[in-house]
Amino acid sequence: MNLFSDCPAGDKDCLIKKLTSNRITHYDLNHLMQIATSDDLKSITQSVFDMDEATLLERSAVEGATRWLNSLKNDRRKDLYVKKIQHTPRPELKKVVAEGDSWFNYPLILTDILDWISMDKNTAVFSLASAADWLVNILASREYVNGLSVHQPDFFLMSGGGNDVGGMSRMALMVSHRFNETSELTHSAWAQHLIANAHEKPYLLSKEVSLDTRKPDEKRWNKAVGYLSKDFFALMMLFRLQYYSLIHSLLVGGKEKFPDLKIITQGYDFLVPSDNKGWGINPFKWYIPVLRWIGHGWWLKKPLIFKGLSGQELQLDILYACMYFFNEMMIELEEKFMELHPTAKGRLFHVDSRGLVQKNEWTDEIHPQPHKFRTIAQTYLDCIHGQPSDYKHVYRSINRQKP
C-alpha cells in the first residue's frame, strides 16, 4: 500500500470494488485507468450495471425495426461516402469514420449531426452509428476497429454514453430518492477535482463574455448534486475508463496502424426530462408529437418519477448536473490522456454542446431539433477543417450559434 492508495499494490479487485462503491481515491482511479485490461473493464461493467455481460449485451442490443432503419440510413451514407472519395484525392477532402448513437444516426425524419456533416462537400462520412446503441455495446462489438482499418480516415467521431444512462429506465439508478446532505460527490476526490477544474480553468477567450461560462450554475448544481447516487459516479468513472481504453487503443496501441488519426468525442447538452406530447399549431413542427410517441418520457422523466422526484425544476436540475458532469469528465479525461501521452496532443478533441439547445428546442427528451444539430455539426466541421479551438482541445457549439 502507498500513501495515495487505499488498496494493496496490484490488487485490482480491491480497486474495482472501491470504484463501484464510489470510494476510490483519485490516485487509484488514475492507476486503475492505466492498468485495466478489457477483462477488467468487463468486470467493472458487470458490477456497475449489476448484470452479467451476456444479459447486458442482449438487453442493450439494437434489434428489429430500429436496426433495419439504422442500416438503411447508413447504407445511403456509404453511397455518398464512396461518391465523394472515388475521384482524385483532394487535400481538402477529409475522411471521417463515425460511431455512436442517435445523435449521429436518427433514422427517421430528423436531420442529425452526421447528416449535416455529410452535406459538406469536403467531408466524406462513413457511418457505423446506430440509434439506441450503448457505449458498452459499441466497445464490445468493436465494429469501429474494422471501419478504421479499412478506411484509414483522418478523423474518428465518437458519440456514446447517452443510452447507457437513459436506456432501460436506468436513469432511476442515477439518483437517490431523497436529498443527501453529504452528497456522494464528497466521497469522490476525482469528482471534486473535476468541479474544481471547471472553476479554476475558465474558458478564456475573446468570445466569452464572462469568466464563469465553464463554471456550473451554483444554484442548480447545489440543488441537484445531493440527489446523484453512487451509481452515477461509478458509471461516470466507468465511462472514463472505457473512453481511456478506446482512445489508448487507437492513439497509442494503434499508432502504427493509425498514425495520423484524430479523435473527436461528443458531450451532449443538458437533456430535458419531459412527457409533454408536443402538440402545437406550428405546422413546421408537426414531427415533434409524432416522434414523441417513441420512448419520449420513458428515458428520463418517468424513471425520475419512479424515484419520487416529480418536480419539473428538480428534474431539469438533476439532468443539468448529470450532463454538466459528463462533459467535464470527458474534458478532464482528454487532458489527462494528453498529459500521460504527449504524442496525443493535437489529435484528441471534444465537442462541448452545453447550453446550446434551449428548453423549447428539443424534439424529445434527448434529441435536439435539426437546426440545433446543424450548429453542433458546424462545430465538428470547424474541428475537422482545422479551425482554432475555443479552449485547448475543446470546441464549443454555443460559440457557433448564429445570433
Task: Please give the residue ranges that form the binding site for another protein (CB under 8 A).
Answer: 76, 109, 111, 115-116, 119-121, 283-284, 286-287, 370-371, 374
The rounded Cα 7 to chain-centroid distance in angstroms is 30
E strand spans, 13-154: 94-100, 123-127
Q: How far is the CB of 206 from another protein (least distance, A)?
A: 19
Whichever of 188 and 378 has its CB closer to another protein, that residue is 378
Whichever of 244 and 373 has its CB closer to another protein, that residue is 373
Whichever of 93 and 119 has its CB closer to another protein, that residue is 119
The rounded Cα 30 to chain-centroid distance in angstroms is 20
How far apart are the C-alpha atoms of 237 and 134, rounded to whole Å? 16
Q: How far is the CB of 111 from another protein (least distance, A)?
A: 5
Q: Tell me the sheet residues that pair with 263.
A: 156, 348
Q: How far is the CB of 286 from another protein (least distance, A)?
A: 5
Contacts by 293-301, CB closer than 8 A, 24 or more apart: 294/364, 295/364, 295/365, 296/364, 296/365, 297/365, 298/169, 299/166, 299/167, 299/171, 299/365, 299/366, 300/166, 300/171, 300/271, 300/272, 300/273, 300/274, 300/365, 300/366, 301/273, 301/274, 301/275, 301/365
Q: How far is the CB of 120 from another protein (least distance, A)?
A: 7
Whichever of 14 and 119 has its CB closer to another protein, that residue is 119
Q: How far is the CB of 265 from another protein (least distance, A)?
A: 24
E strand or H helix that includes residue 29? helix 26-35
**Contact at 8 Å (CB) between 332 and 197?**
yes
Q: How far is the CB of 125 from another protein (least distance, A)?
A: 12
Q: How far is the CB of 119 from another protein (least distance, A)?
A: 4
E strand or H helix that includes residue 159? strand 155-159
- Three-state SS for 86? coil
Please name which of 77, 71, 70, 157 lies closest in space to residue 115, comparing C-alpha atoms: 77
Whichever of 43 and 111 has its CB closer to another protein, that residue is 111
Whichever of 116 and 380 has its CB closer to another protein, that residue is 116
Whichever of 307 and 367 has its CB closer to another protein, that residue is 367
